[in-house]
Amino acid sequence: MEPAPSRTSRRETQQAVARRRRKIGLAIGGAVVVIAAIAVAVLALGGKGSDDRAAKTTTSDAGPGITITLEAGDVATDSAGPATSLSPAQAQAVLTTIRTYVDGGVVKPLRSGEAAGDLSGVFDAGTLARVTGADRGVMLEEGLPKVTGDITVTGKPVNFMGLGDQSGNLVLVTASVQFTVDGTIAGTKAPLHIEQHGDLVLAPDGSGVWKVTSYRMAVTRSGGGIDTTTSSTPATTKAAK
């Protein structure tokens, strides 16, 4: 028979057990808190109506003396069904299409003094027909004096709003755009200033490329004797087809 432990040793044992329990309790509690925090963070990133800020900036040199700066701003979604989200990659893809439009429809015609090239990678077929028809004077910087020297496009952050269908699939994104274009007119050396603002609506085509399916834009041009403000007529409609 073992001798009974002394009072002091019993107390030490109890204290040691209590300390261990406390440590275990704190460890479990901490783990639960951390897990909960991670889960909540994941939810916040992927839930319905997420309002994020995609801070990626597209600053690029589109050619000698040409700088286009476009930045993604706020990102939000709403859905007719389960929650939908616009991922940073999707926002970036939309921004890339907008940048291609600015480059091909605005900057290149200014630099060359000629008509814009092929924009079928930017607009869907029905919308392209309208851009190169009724709304050509709003959407494209054609027919203006050639611009030499630096061309600088500076955009405000582009805010995105995604729409989910009744199954929660992201079907389109609206992009609120506002940018200025500054350059110098060849010959007269007069400064040219252009301001474009409005909404573009983009949807993925069959191959997943985001293209503009409708728009509502306004443009103001000033400098070198050009002072005009023009707005596009109401957006095109897919429902008409």
Q: What residues make contact with other proteins under the rule CB under 8 A?
A: 11, 14-15, 18, 22, 25-26, 28-29, 32-33, 35-36, 39-40, 42-43, 46-48, 76, 78-83, 126-127, 129-130, 134, 159, 161-166, 168, 171-172, 174, 176, 199-201, 203, 213-214, 216, 233-241
Encoded tokens for 190: 């007069």
String of DSSP letters for 17-59: HHHHHHHHHHHHHHHHHHHHHHHHHHHHHHSTT--EE---EEE
59 backbone φψ class: left, alpha, beta (φ>0; ψ -120 to 50): beta
> Rounded to the nearest whole angstrom, what is the least distance from the CB of residue 75 to other proteins in the complex?
11
User: Minimum CB separation from other proteins for residue 108, in Å?
Assistant: 24
Smallest separation, CB 43 to other proteins (Å)? 6
CB of residue 152 to other proteins, shortest distance in Å: 27
- Closest approach of Cβ 132 to other proteins, in Å? 12
Q: Which is nearer to other proteins, 84 or 102 (CB)?
A: 84
Q: Give the tokens for residue 105.
A: 């429809």
Closest to 142 measured CA to CA, from 236, 65, 60, 221 = 221
Give the shortest CB-133-to-other proteins separation in angstroms: 8
To other proteins, the closest distance from the beta carbon of 94 in angstroms equals 13
Of the pair 194, 235, the CB lying nearest other proteins is at: 235
Closer Cβ to other proteins, 1 or 241, answer by number: 241
- Among candidate residues 99, 73, 76, 85, the one with its CA nearest the CA of residue 158: 73
Q: Which is nearer to other proteins, 42 or 115 (CB)?
A: 42
Q: Name the residue nearer to other proteins (CB basis): 28 or 55.
A: 28
Task: Enumerate helices (H) and strands (E) in the chain, giving the number of each.
Answer: 5, 9
Q: Contact, 77 vs 86, CB < 8 A?
A: yes
Is the separation of the CB atoms in 32 and 117 below 8 Å? Answer: no
Assigned token pair, 156: 């405000």
Contact 118, 101 (CB under 8 A): no
CA atoms within 13 A on the CB side of 74: 7
Q: Which backbone phi and psi does 227 adopt, to 5 degrees?
A: -135, 95
Instruction: Report the residue number, 46 or 187, with the smaller CB distance to other proteins.
Output: 46
